[in-house]
Structure 1
């Protein structure tokens, strides 16, 4: 099942998603972007930066409504980021609002976070791992499993708070209960579907989903009943969604120093830089809180970034949340019946590794035959021209993504047209200043292209038609215009180009055709004159002949009339007999 829905018809091949994808999990096919699911870490950046909203998140809202309509017992696991992302007077009102939607119980995901904190604490005390990377962020887990699999031994072999909480809720309410996670993260959808986590999470909603649903039901959180969360007080574990929240939770539960240095990293670029640093062996003996979202989960891709200040939320949460940990006896009861381990896998893609000859062949096709031709401008989305060439070979990118190359190609084609076109091509602006002038114009107007580009159109020809087209935005098609001073006849097409606010004209030389037509017309006039003379002469002869034949004709007429009458009379006698 897909997580991000892609609308190809909206994609304008701007490559902004490619430029902003730190792992280059977006491929360009037929000039349209496509997400490579086996390489995507679901950081959501492509959704946030897409100027045409071509990428949207697939929602489980209808699925959850279906659970409730059918009558399934449905429990919601509420991520602690709700404390900064939802509007309420008391936390219990969030509980009350969600229950009004039909959920049988509302629990805080921080209950699962408390268990995860306990597991991290155990790993710190054991001290057997060289480095420990927290595994609460599914995007970080994907980043390492797909792109830095050699760092897998540093991943804490522990499930995320969401999965841990799902296990706990299924154990408490029964496996038939539907568990829905509510948070700001889109990667949680993929994590919920991971077969390593069983069916502990049945659906994932984000805060945009829930606010839309509340609005549809005309429910305002601030007006709802205050129903306190009474099952477990997660205390400091509610800080998980803000930067340094996991480290704070671990420090609140440690009984003694463990020897690990602790720090946090957030933001995709910083996480990648840290992974590279660890590969170089620069990091050792550290407990590292890693979060893909810059600012922590409260700045997740499914949160309202425009109206959310991570600084204010962090300050407010750190000020109001209790800093002590959950008592050991409460946690131990959970561990008596459940385990929360996880095994991470090497999921590195097996891409084609091109040869140097193949790379050079692709570079050559985009006009890069020398090292200095490789601009490495990044307009295509790749850092270097070589990196983009590799992507072309791997079928992730296309040749025409190179903006400088396409610009040069367009210019060369434009110049080719202007230099080789047999027709006169003119482009003028609103002031009738000549902006473009084909080379063939010198043959007819006696001005080179360089000279013409410094002139106004009225210095060459009459501008009446051009001005009319510019003023009315209507076109002139197939109009014959003769310039006597240049001894040229033309067939003109003149149009207004709205985007550039210019007038474009093409003049086809029809001088020879017009001369041939003139000559043919003159021949027709000569033929008509000759025919008229012949007709006149024949009329004169006919009149003379008629005069001579006048008497004979009269006698003949009388004789024939008598003969006809005689024949008619003979016919009448036969009928009587």
Structure 2
């Protein structure tokens, strides 16, 4: 089962989730981010930072509603962080609001925390472990088992308060009861359903986000609900578990004597820094309360939308937890609290030198100077990124300097081979950019061009008009007298730059060819006219000669006729 993942979204050139994932459990395939289940510790931080709001979460909402529709006895185990996360007038209104949805009973997970506290106190008093790392946070547990397996022996072999409470509830109401955990944590889902070592203690998980939406859908106004008590004895100091340092306060109230130095660490980076120190073996006899979420569970990924202020949530909980003594009247003698943690190390094949060089070269990194280590791709160094590419976790195109260089290279080629003059002119008439052809025609270098104004070279009347009206001017034939060119002018307004894109397509040769062709046609016509005129003159001369010879012939023939006729008469 995949607890969290991303929907298809516009991940191209973003990679914010990769940058914020400290264990790099996110792969990018075809420019789409995916969570690698085997690598993920389910901290949910990637989903919090995703600007596309593309998170998906395997919800148990319909399963829980099914329990209630079928009349199954269903008990809510509510995380103590509700005291600082949910909005209400009195805490008991939360209990009533949940019962109105159909839940049989509402009990605080802090009740289970009291059992866990006793186990921690026992381990401290025994003093057998070199160091003790608390195991309440499932993300921390995954982090150690997958990425710091050498520290498994330092993990307190105790289940989390949620699991302890689930088992306690089933011991009270019977194994057939359904237990639903309600809290701010996404990782609890994987712990409850995906971890075979504790499976069966919790039947479903709901987040504060989900329960709030459910109340809204059912028309339940928590401020109008009655003030009802929870179904468990007071967990006393154990209600402080969701606060950073809350576990230590609970343990101190339950421990008579121990020799461990106690430290609370929260935040994934801080936890990883601690574990690196512990790997070196230079720390001993310490009790470490660790939590992946900064500030503790009150800042869990499923609670931040309701309580943005860590300080306010902390104050709200501390004000309501009036008693800081150890819990009384909570019998966990029938509850199994032991849990064995194991080495589940994630191992990815590392590239050899030849394979590394091949990937680096594909990324455009040929020398150490080419390795900018900018971190834009989400990886701290170019070599770390190259390893990720080799392991099919990342794509070469995620390297933004490389992608930018490629884009600039392509655009520069297009600009430089284009036979037209191309310029970008700012609203102050200063040349902001120009291509190779423009530099050639204007007779200046790029550096010099960018310090000059367009009106120093050509008539800027049309450019000024487009800058003023913001209406494009397309395919206008003009003469650029200063550079002795005939061009087709196109001017496009760029709103985002408050500038214009100006192109001048040189048609001087074409126009000369047209002129030559026209002149040839005129010459041909003139020659034809001369031939016609000459032919007319020849025709007229021929006609004249024909007229004269015809007259002479007529006279001669007439005389011949008359002589013949007259001879016969005689």
Q: Same fold (TM over 0.5)?
A: yes
Tell me the distance in 1 between the aligned counterparts of 2:433 and 2:318: 65
Structure 1 range deviating more: 212-221 or 472-481: 472-481
Residue in 1 aligned with 2:234?
233
Tell me: CA distance 1:27–1:498, structure 2 relative to 1, closer, same or farther (3 Å): farther
> How big is the shift at 1:212?
1.9
- Helix, strand or coil: the match of 1:289? strand
Structure 1 range deviating more: 20-29 or 437-446: 437-446
Could you tell me whether the CA contact under 8 Å between 1:10 and 1:53 is conserved in 2? no
Tell me the distance in 2 between the aligned counterparts of 1:241 and 1:145: 23
> How big is the shift at 1:29?
2.4
Which of residues 439, 443, 446 is equivalent to 1:446?
A: 443
Tell me: CA distance 1:416–1:31, structure 2 relative to 1, closer, same or farther (3 Å): same
- Helix, strand or coil: the match of 1:71? coil
In the TM superposition, what whole-angstrom CA distance separates every residue of 1:395-449 from its partner, at most 9, and x where no partner exists? 2222233333444444444544444433222111112211122222344333343
In the TM superposition, what whole-angstrom CA distance separates every residue of 1:366-407 from its partner, at most 9, and x where no partner exists? 444333443323222222222222222222222233333444
Structure 1 range deviating more: 345-354 or 51-60: 51-60
Q: TM-score, normalised by structure 1?
A: 0.86
Show structure 1 runs of 5+ residues with no match.
550-577
Aligned 1:156-555 pairs, distance under 5 A? 156-194=156-194, 195-254=196-255, 256-304=256-304, 307-321=307-321, 322-327=323-328, 330-331=330-331, 334-336=332-334, 338-531=335-528
Tell me the distance in 2 between the aligned counterparts of 1:214 and 1:182: 14
Tell me the distance in 2 between the aligned counterparts of 1:151 and 1:483: 78
Tell me: CA distance 1:34–1:529, structure 2 relative to 1, closer, same or farther (3 Å): same
> How big is the shift at 1:529?
4.4
2:65 is the counterpart of 1:65: yes
Could you tell me whether the CA contact under 8 Å between 2:83 and 2:316 is conserved in 1? no
2:48 is the counterpart of 1:48: yes
Tell me the distance in 2 between the aligned counterparts of 1:535 and 1:371: 83
Structure 1 range deviating more: 341-350 or 356-365: 356-365
- Helix, strand or coil: the match of 2:93? helix
Residue in 2 aligned with 1:575?
none
In the TM superposition, what whole-angstrom CA distance separates every residue of 1:534-558 from its partner, at most 9, and x where no partner exists? 677889969x99xx99xxxxxxxxx
- Helix, strand or coil: the match of 2:9? helix
Tell me the distance in 2 between the aligned counterparts of 1:209 and 1:325: 32
> How big is the shift at 1:144?
0.5
Tell me the distance in 2 between the aligned counterparts of 1:55 and 1:90: 33
Could you tell me whether the CA contact under 8 Å between 1:424 and 1:438 is conserved in 2? yes
> How big is the shift at 1:518?
1.8
Could you tell me whether the CA contact under 8 Å between 1:109 and 1:162 is conserved in 2? yes
Could you tell me whether the CA contact under 8 Å between 1:441 and 1:449 is conserved in 2? no
- Helix, strand or coil: the match of 1:106? strand
Tell me the distance in 2 between the aligned counterparts of 1:479 and 1:170: 85
Could you tell me whether the CA contact under 8 Å between 2:184 and 2:208 is conserved in 1? yes
Structure 1 range deviating more: 303-312 or 291-300: 303-312
Structure 1 range deviating more: 310-319 or 218-227: 310-319
Residue in 1 aligned with 2:138?
138
Could you tell me whether the CA contact under 8 Å between 1:491 and 1:509 is conserved in 2? yes
Could you tell me whether the CA contact under 8 Å between 2:421 and 2:504 is conserved in 1? yes
Tell me: CA distance 1:451–1:226, structure 2 relative to 1, closer, same or farther (3 Å): closer
Could you tell me whether the CA contact under 8 Å between 2:5 and 2:34 is conserved in 1? no
Tell me the distance in 2 between the aligned counterparts of 1:494 and 1:63: 62
In the TM superposition, what whole-angstrom CA distance separates every residue of 1:51-107 from its partner, at most 9, and x where no partner exists? 232335443334323332343332211111111112233322211111011111111
Tell me: CA distance 1:230–1:453, structure 2 relative to 1, closer, same or farther (3 Å): closer
> How big is the shift at 1:326?
2.6
> How big is the shift at 1:312?
3.8
> How big is the shift at 1:234?
1.5
Could you tell me whether the CA contact under 8 Å between 2:307 and 2:313 is conserved in 1? no
- Helix, strand or coil: the match of 2:436? coil
Could you tell me whether the CA contact under 8 Å between 1:28 and 1:396 is conserved in 2? yes
Q: TM-score, normalised by structure 2?
A: 0.87
RMSD: 2.8
- Helix, strand or coil: the match of 1:265? strand
Could you tell me whether the CA contact under 8 Å between 2:81 and 2:183 is conserved in 1? yes
Could you tell me whether the CA contact under 8 Å between 1:10 and 1:54 is conserved in 2? no
Could you tell me whether the CA contact under 8 Å between 1:444 and 1:488 is conserved in 2? no
Tell me the distance in 1 between the aligned counterparts of 2:391 and 2:470: 47
Tell me the distance in 1 between the aligned counterparts of 2:476 and 2:380: 52
